[in-house]
Amino acid sequence: YGTFARRADVVTSFFPFVTPGPHLAWRLPLSLLRPAALFASIARNLEPHGEFVMANHGPEEAAIASAYAEHAGLTRVHEFACS
């Protein structure tokens, strides 16, 4: 995550791995599970006043991902939940 550097007005992240479960389901080594580094990279690459769009599997995962995003300095503007 720390090596990609390209500024963008919009960054999207569809179903980022933020917990071990999906990571293990895809048979990826847990050493690659670094959600804090992922969101820090997103924040570094996002232009000021840019937009970050994220989709998650359910409210529990969204809450975890949102906490990482907020810790990285990203601010929530809108939230949409499907029922």
List, for residues 49-83, the tens digit of each pLDDT value. Answer: 999 999 998 999 999 999 999 999 999 888 888 76
- pLDDT in the model for residue 16: 95
- pLDDT in the model for residue 14: 96
Residue range 29-54, pLDDT digits in tens: 999 999 999 999 999 999 999 999 99
Burial of 18 (0-12, 13-18, 19+ CB in 10 A): buried
Is pTM beyond 0.85? Reply is yes
- pLDDT in the model for residue 12: 96
Q: Are 76 and 34 in contact (CB under 8 A)?
A: no
